[in-house]
């Protein structure tokens, strides 16, 4: 008989935060999603935030806000995406000691996409340029390459993708 593993409540929150985050990525990478998968995408994004609020720090909540914004963009709701992108950037600025160097770049990137999605192309361009500048400051070569690949990919809603 297999021994049953026990978890503390914090361990469980950590497990579910990570699992929900993985679900978000898996669903975002699907070229076509069903309505149920779209609902699951949004639920997973909020579940990740919820569980990180117990098991994580502000950096985890900042990244969860990014994922919520990304989910809303994928679902065609740029106004909600903008609210969460702004929250992501605010947290990035309020807790710089917890952030990795790529967190600012990604926060700026999400603000650029959200502004572009609601038709504010001038502001989107400013945030895109800020994202590119922040990306150039990423120290780890692999992290920098991943960021710039992400920056060049995806929907820019009429804004020209960054020149890399």
Looking up residue 77, the CATH number of its domain turns out to be 1.25.40.10
Nearest to 81 by CA among 91, 72, 92: 72
86 assigned to some structural domain: yes
**CA distance linking residue 164 with residue 152, whole number of Å:** 8
**Cβ-contact 81, 48 below 8 angstroms:** no
Q: How many domains does the chain have?
A: 1
Domain range enclosing 86:
9-152
157 assigned to some structural domain: no
3-state helix, strand, coil in the chain (%, to 5): 75, 0, 25
Q: Over the stretch 117-161, which tens digit does the pLDDT of each residue have?
A: 999 999 999 999 999 999 999 999 999 999 999 999 989 998 875
Confidence band for 1, pLDDT divided at 50, 70 and 90: low
164 assigned to some structural domain: no
pLDDT of the residue at 69:
98
pLDDT exceeds 60 at position 7: yes
158 assigned to some structural domain: no
Q: Over the stretch 92-114, which tens digit does the pLDDT of each residue have?
A: 999 999 999 999 999 999 999 99
**CA distance linking residue 113 with residue 70, whole number of Å:** 9
Three-class secondary structure of residue 120 per DSSP: coil
């Amino acid at each position: 008989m297999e021994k049953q593993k026990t978890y503390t409540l914090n361990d469980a929150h950590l497990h579910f935060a990570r699992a929900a985050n993985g679900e978000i990525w898996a669903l975002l990478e699907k070229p076509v999603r069903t309505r149920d998968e779209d609902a699951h995408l949004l639920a997973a994004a909020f579940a990740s935030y919820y569980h990180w609020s117990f098991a994580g720090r502000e950096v985890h909540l900042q990244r969860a806000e990014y994922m919520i914004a990304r989910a809303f963009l994928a679902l065609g709701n740029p106004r909600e995406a903008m609210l969460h992108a702004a929250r992501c950037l605010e947290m990035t600025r309020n807790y710089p000691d917890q952030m990795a160097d790529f967190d600012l770049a990604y926060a700026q990137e999400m603000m650029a996409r959200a502004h572009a999605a609601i038709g504010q192309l001038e502001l989107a361009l400013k945030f895109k340029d800020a994202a590119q500048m922040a990306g150039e400051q990423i120290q780890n070569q692999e992290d920098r390459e991943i960021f710039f690949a992400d920056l060049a990919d995806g929907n820019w809603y009429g804004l020209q993708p960054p020149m890399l």
